[in-house]
Every structure is written in structure tokens, then in C-alpha cells.
Structure 1
């Protein structure tokens, strides 16, 4: 048996070893940050700050994107509203499919397909149509046609998408009470020959082929309208035109009547197209010579619309059929003629008089008065017609159908605006032969001069 002090010593040694072991274990489990560990610990707040910045940047980007999206949507809405408003009041360009145009040999001067502007009508006028032929003079030489082919008067490729429909084409009931609900079509004038050109082969100038196919252009557009709109079921049709387009309407309207056999009524409105033959200040007959050159360059003699006239004349004088008041003798369709006895375009271009009316010298006033008398003489057959109407103002103007003077009374004859006179004629209320013959000195206060 061991002595008690020996046992006690052993127990103490075991306890001491246990304490030492516990102390070492605690030391091993204790984390003491030193050196590098302290630096890692200090980076923690910095990392947190960077994440916060990243979040803020992301939120800001989202806000910016939302703002851009909202702005874009707003712009799209505005563009749609503008397009919708334009489509309701203006004409929208339709270019004929290339294959369709080629099958009918119908080309603008530069070879592009022809086209038209259209605004559809509303009930009860949606079975009625106004087909309008635009002004734009002519190209009477190869150089003229070549230069013209680079403009909207010779190419559908650069024609504007919309065209403002005003005057007789207006959708405003107050301005155009008789026709504002009708279907409206303005055919793009891109042939330079009053829709009468019939030249079979292109004219080559400076290596560029020029297509003088106006009669094919008009036919193709009418065919396309019949096939792709309700124009084929039209009940009433008015063929209207201004200046060179008025001459086109005059010569083409009977031919159109033969094509539209199911239409109940066809009329023609002829605006600013009384191109009478009158001598200018240099003793030249500029108007007759221009129309003669157009007739021959575009080979119009055999065009279907004019052939009844040309076939009755010797070949040396067939160009006379381009004289509107000569061709009038062959006309069957009722027409309403609109013109000025002091046509501002004619005075400038055909008479070569460019002075302001208030300052024209006496010798030029004499030439203007001779022109006025020639027009009054030429109008006698129209005055005697039972079916045809006249609105002839003395105010210096050229065309009126698409201007504000169509409905405003600043240009009035017999106390009637053009719109009122046209309405009376169209609805057969009474004969309309309105002619205002004033002396040159009395027209100087007119409010309008249009070209």
C-alpha cells in the first residue's frame, strides 16, 4: 500500500497535466489577429461600400433606361398621331408595283413606276371619286426632259410621301361642302407631257433613257385603282386638273368615260388651262410653239385620247389639237372652265411680261389687253353651251382649284366664290356663265396673284 503523500502527488500531477492540456486547447482555439489578418479585416467595410455604389449605379441606369423608354413611347405616339392626322386630311403616296407598271409600259421620265396620292372618302360619299391631274408645265426639248427627270416632276423615287389636299380636294366641310366626303386621288405628274405622251421607244439624252409615256401612265393608274380600290364600283367621277393638268383632263376625259362604262355621271373641272394663241411682246407665238414642240417630242398624235381630233386634220397641223379651245369642239363630257382674263403664269411665260402689274409700261399693257380679248373671243362656244359652265375672273391668277381662293370670296364673280359657282353648276341649279371683264386698271387692288 502506497503512502498517502505519494497518492496525493500523483493526483496533483494528473490535475496539473489536465489543466495544462485545457490551457493548450484554449490557446489553439483562440484567434489572435495579427499583421495580414488585421488588414483583411479592415477591407470588409470598403468591400461593402463598393457594393453599395454598384447598386446605386445600377438603379440609376435602370431609371435612365425607363426614362428613355417612356420618351420613345411618347415620340412613337406623337408620330402616329401626326401620321394619322396626315392620312385623314392629306393624300398618301402609292407607287405602282414595278411589274404592274412594266406590263403596261407605264414609266415616269426616269423609268420609275408612276404613282398617285389618295385619301379615302366617307359614307355617303365613298362611292364618288375626284381624280386630279396636277400642274407642272411641260418638257418640250430633250434637255428639258433630262433635267426634269431628276425632280419630282419626272420621278416617283423622290416624290414626297404626303401631299396636302386643299381646295377641291379638302376634307373640310366648310371649305368644300359638296365633295369633302368623296374619295380623292391626285395622280403624280411625272411624264412632262400632260399625260398624253405616246413615244414607243425611250428618248436617249446624255446616255440616259427618258420615257415619254404619259398616256400609259394615266391608263395604268386608272387600271390599278380599279383593281385595288372600290374605284371599279364608282357611281360619280370628276376628272379635274390645273394648268398642264387641266389640259390633260380636257383631252382625256372622254376617253376615261369610255373606260368607266358603269359610272353614272362623269364631269370635268378645267382650271387655268385656256392657253390661247396670243402674240407676246417680241412678236412671237410662244404658247403655240411650246405646245407644238410638246406634241411632236412626246409623239402625241396617235394617243387614243386625242386621235379623234388628229385623225381629222392634215398631218402638218395635227398639233392644233393641243390648243384647248380647238379640242373643245370634239368634247362630249360636261366641263366647268376656271380661268383668269389676266392669267399670271401666261403673262409671265407666254407673253414675256414680268413687270409688277402696278408698274407695267403702257406698251406692255396693250399686249395684255390683246391677250384678254383673244380669250374672250375663244370662250364664245363655251358661253353658248347648254351643259358647260364658266368661272372667269379678272384678278391676276393662274390656278384656283387647290388654293384658298377656291372657297374664299376675295376672288368672286357675280358675288359668288368659285366653290359656290361650281356647286350651282354641278347640281344643275341654273346655268353658270360667270365672266368678270374688268379693265386692267381696275384689277390692281385684287388680293391674289397665284402662279
Structure 2
């Protein structure tokens, strides 16, 4: 990457000088964080009871009536013990959230984000552990845990509507990882809250988690998601188009939700998603001898037998997404990278050497799909065919 591009994609670095931590923001200034104090009155709070938060960079020029709402990721907590471990961190409290800058799909440079750079750009911070689906009234005084993710989402969306999103001409609901799952689960609701005349679509980045058996033959992820739903009281907030047909525990899996969605969706995912390989295919409890430890770090260290299993997982993933050509409103960018979340950094979103399929960068593919410039359904060849792939860490 050329020097300017390298400078732009680096969001920030922490430099230690004489014992002091200095925040260096290379991709522009940190975007201010809005603490939505008014949400506390309706119980829309983080795990620790603090007010929810989001970052807002106002639109300008031709983008003044366009809105991009991006939901932060960060896994889930499935019981009180796991939620307690998050409660007093930035994953469970707005009191501990660090500052951040915008890049990738949220970037403000036309050269590196040509279709969304001047939109109203929002990042909703994630502090509930349920992909913004929880809603339990009671609070156990022993833990002081508040399971209120769905209330958080509604409170922030209502606040944004009052700030001008109710006049939106174009809107995109997106998210990464647990936020990418949330963008699917809340997509049709988001559409219903915006003007009927607005063009509204949704983007899921690394949020298409599949219902697959692990290497021991068990169904760890199905059990995990059921525990999340039970703990957070999420069932009533999952899409009724799914829960009316299937047990609520299955309605955390996009493959059972997406076929009934009414709003156009773009699926951005690695076929060898690093989180899914570590936590769905080979979770720790399914690998007591830790034979998958090296392979889970990087596919390059998989044995030939393990690689065959990983390739089978890719096939299962491809079978779980909508069929190509089933509808032009469904966009896809499924690369053969061993990555997780690819929209948040310029390095992978839209640069000279970003992750690409058929010489098309992710940012170009999403823009073409959103503005209906072309049908975008790109599925990569199997690993290790793509030399543009970069390691991308979890959000």
C-alpha cells in the first residue's frame, strides 16, 4: 500500500512516552461519543445500568439526508457469570468505552469511501451482550445485571430519527460480527421505522453465523445461542417471521431468518471466518486434546485432515446462504480469507490492495449493490486461491 493509504487506514496507535499514554488519531479526529442519558428513564441501559452510547459524524452536501447506522460487535454472554465478566468493561458499560475514529465504511474520505463518505455516519456501541435483542424487566440485586439490548437499539434509533433520520432519503443498517447478526435481526424493523419513500437496505459483515455441528459431532453453537436467548429474554424480539415457524433458538441463525426478510441484504463474510472456525467448528469443549489449537490460529497450520474438515465447513457455509441469482436484491461478497469483519478498515474496505474478488474491492461491491449499479453476488474460489487476503481481527 502507498504511504498515504497506509496513513489513512491506521485508526490510531497508542504510544508510550515517558510513562504517558498518548492517543494518536491518524485517520482524522476521534468522533465524539453521545451518551444517551434520557434512555435510562425507560430502562434502555448497558449491562451495568449505565446509559447507552453512540458516535455520530453528521452528513454534508449530497449526503445530508443519507444515514449509515453501524452496530459494533463483540460476542455475547450466555449466563450471569459471563455477563458479569463483561459488566465493568467497555463491553458492558458506557463508563469504560474508549474513544474511536471512523474508517472503512465509516470513513470520511471520498477517495477511500466514495459511496458513503459524506453520509450521516453512526456507530452504536455494544454493551448488552445479546446482539441488541434482550429485554428482561427484573434485575437481580446480587449481580446488578440489566438485560436490555433491544431497548438500547430502539432508544438510539428513536434518537437518530429525531435528529433527522426521519427525513432520510437513503439509509443503510450495518454491523460487524455480533453487530452484523443484529443488522439481520433488526433489518425489517429498521425499514419500518424510516420513511416509506426512503431507499433502505442492510449489510451484515461477519454476522452470518451458521447452524453447524462441531468437530466432535456436537451442536455447541446451537446450545450457546439458546442460552443467550434464555438469559436475555430475547425470543420476543427475534423476527416473528422465523419464530412463528421455528423454535426461537434457531432464529439467532441467519439461515433461518434471511429467506423471509423483506428488506434487501448484503452478506459480507469470509467463507473461512476465523471466529466461526474457532467457536462453531472447533470450540474448546469439542477439542479437549487441543489438536485444533494451531489450525484455529491460522489455516496455514492445519493438517491435511483438518484442512479437509475446514473445506467441508466452507461448503456448509455456502449451502446456508441464499442461492446465487435467487434475487438480485441480495448482495454477496464471500471471500476465501481466514478473516472476521472486513468493512471497518480502509485496508480491507477500499484500497489498492484490499481484499478483493474478481478484482472488485469490498467497498466497490457494496456501493454497486446499494445503488443498484449492478447485481453483486461474488463468491470466491476455495482457499488458498486469493492472494489479496489479509488477516483481520475480531471487532
TM-score normalised according to structure 2 size: 0.85
User: Could you tell me which residue of structure 2 aligns to residue 111 of structure 1?
Assistant: 49
Residue pair 1:338, 1:390 contacting (<8 A) in 2 also: yes
Q: Determine whether 1:121 maps to 2:59.
A: yes
Q: Determine whether 1:374 maps to 2:316.
A: yes
- Greater CA drift, 171-180 or 253-262: 253-262
Q: What's the offset of the Cα at 1:389?
A: 0.5
Residue pair 1:91, 1:185 contacting (<8 A) in 2 also: no
Distance 1:395 1:87 in 2: 25
Distance 2:139 2:215 in 1: 36
Which of 306, 310, 317 is the aligned partner of 2:243?
Answer: 310
C-alpha spacing 1:103/1:94, structure 2 compared with 1 (3 Å): same
Residue pair 2:264, 2:329 contacting (<8 A) in 1 also: yes
Q: Determine whether 1:330 maps to 2:260.
A: yes
User: Could you tell me which residue of structure 2 aligns to residue 363 of structure 1?
Assistant: 305
Q: Give the 3-state SS of the residue equivalent to 2:61 in structure 1.
A: coil
Which of 340, 343, 354 is the aligned partner of 2:270?
Answer: 340
Distance 1:368 1:259 in 2: 40
- Greater CA drift, 261-270 or 179-188: 261-270
User: Could you tell me which residue of structure 1 aligns to residue 287 of structure 2?
Assistant: none
Q: Give the 3-state SS of the residue equivalent to 1:197 in structure 2.
A: coil
User: Could you tell me which residue of structure 1 aligns to residue 6 of structure 2?
Assistant: none
Deviations 1:306-348 (A, max 9, x none): 23321333xxx22111111111122111111101111111112
C-alpha spacing 1:215/1:445, structure 2 compared with 1 (3 Å): closer
Greater Rg over alpha carbons, structure = 1
Higher normalized contact order (CA 8 Å, seq sep 6+, divided by chain length): 2
Residue pair 1:203, 1:212 contacting (<8 A) in 2 also: no
C-alpha spacing 1:371/1:185, structure 2 compared with 1 (3 Å): same
Residue pair 1:121, 1:184 contacting (<8 A) in 2 also: yes
Deviations 1:184-230 (A, max 9, x none): 111110110000112222245xx121111111000111122223x22
Q: What's the offset of the Cα at 1:134?
A: 0.8
Which of 216, 219, 227 is the aligned partner of 1:282?
Answer: 216
Distance 1:430 1:281 in 2: 39
Q: What's the offset of the Cα at 1:262?
A: 5.0
Q: What's the offset of the Cα at 1:364?
A: 1.8
C-alpha spacing 1:325/1:198, structure 2 compared with 1 (3 Å): same
TM-score normalised according to structure 1 size: 0.75
Which of 153, 167, 171 is the aligned partner of 1:218?
Answer: 153
Distance 2:293 2:112 in 1: 32
Please state which structure has a larger fraction of its residues in helix. 1
Residue pair 2:354, 2:388 contacting (<8 A) in 1 also: no
Where do 5+ consecutive residues of structure 2 fail to align? 1-21, 283-291
Runs of 4+ in 1 over 4 A off after TM superposition: 85-89
Q: What's the offset of the Cα at 1:383?
A: 4.3
Deviations 1:138-170 (A, max 9, x none): 00111110110011010011112x311010000
Residue pair 2:242, 2:257 contacting (<8 A) in 1 also: yes
User: Could you tell me which residue of structure 2 aligns to residue 10 of structure 1?
Assistant: none
Q: What's the offset of the Cα at 1:415?
A: 1.2
Residue pair 1:198, 1:214 contacting (<8 A) in 2 also: yes
Distance 1:247 1:216 in 2: 17
User: Could you tell me which residue of structure 2 aligns to residue 173 of structure 1?
Assistant: 110
C-alpha spacing 1:340/1:88, structure 2 compared with 1 (3 Å): closer
Distance 1:428 1:233 in 2: 21
C-alpha spacing 1:382/1:219, structure 2 compared with 1 (3 Å): farther
Where do 5+ consecutive residues of structure 1 fail to align? 1-81
Alpha-carbon RMSD: 2.2
C-alpha spacing 1:380/1:221, structure 2 compared with 1 (3 Å): closer
- Greater CA drift, 332-341 or 419-428: 419-428
Deviations 1:59-79 (A, max 9, x none): xxxxxxxxxxxxxxxxxxxxx
User: Could you tell me which residue of structure 1 aligns to residue 193 of structure 2?
Assistant: 259
User: Could you tell me which residue of structure 2 aligns to residue 182 of structure 1?
Assistant: 119
C-alpha spacing 1:171/1:268, structure 2 compared with 1 (3 Å): same
Q: Give the 3-state SS of the residue equivalent to 1:208 in structure 2.
A: coil
Residue pair 2:27, 2:101 contacting (<8 A) in 1 also: no
Residue pair 2:222, 2:249 contacting (<8 A) in 1 also: no
C-alpha spacing 1:225/1:365, structure 2 compared with 1 (3 Å): same
User: Could you tell me which residue of structure 2 aligns to residue 436 of structure 1?
Assistant: 380
User: Could you tell me which residue of structure 2 aligns to residue 201 of structure 1?
Assistant: 138
User: Could you tell me which residue of structure 1 aligns to residue 250 of structure 2?
Assistant: 320
Which of 150, 154, 157 is the aligned partner of 2:95?
Answer: 157
